[in-house]
Amino acid sequence: MIRVSKGGQRPETCLVVAGLDFEEPQQVKLAGDKEKKEDQGGGDTGTQVITKPRTKAKKPRLYKVLLLNDDYTPMDFVIFILEQCFNKSRSEATGIMLQVHRSGIGICGVFTYEVAETKVSQVMNLAKQSEHPLQCTMEKE
């Protein structure tokens, strides 16, 4: 909300359009204001529009969440992790588990940094609770 003063009268309160920041007090004429020409110094009686250039939002960087193979974690536990933490179907989870088993590493998903970090910590906590040495990491895509 900003307060707008009309020609020395008591200030009125009006809503500010979302996304506009006023660093300094601005003189704004409201639509429908009718003031005398001598109050405006002989200027135009129209309204002024205050604009702020929009900045383009950058797309967030994406990170791959990776499962690493070990010789001790059961395949069923890896499938359980993929179903619970990454919402994979049974067949998708089995495919990723086999990829981890054969090649030593498998991609569980691609996420923004915060989501990937959360997924890695969920996997590591579940593995620790179940006393399995399963390792999960993330890397930039």
pLDDT in tens, 65-94: 999 999 999 999 999 999 999 999 999 999
What average pLDDT does the chain have? 81
Residue 52: per-residue pLDDT: 79
Residue 24: per-residue pLDDT: 52
Residue 38: per-residue pLDDT: 47
Reduced 3-state DSSP string for the chain: CEEECCCCCCCEEECCCCCCCCCCCCCCCCCCCCCCCCCCCCCCCCCCCCCCCCCCCCCCCEEEEEEECCCCCCHHHHHHHHHHHHCCCHHHHHHHHHHHHHHCEEEEEEEEHHHHHHHHHHHHHHHHHCCCCCEEEEEEC
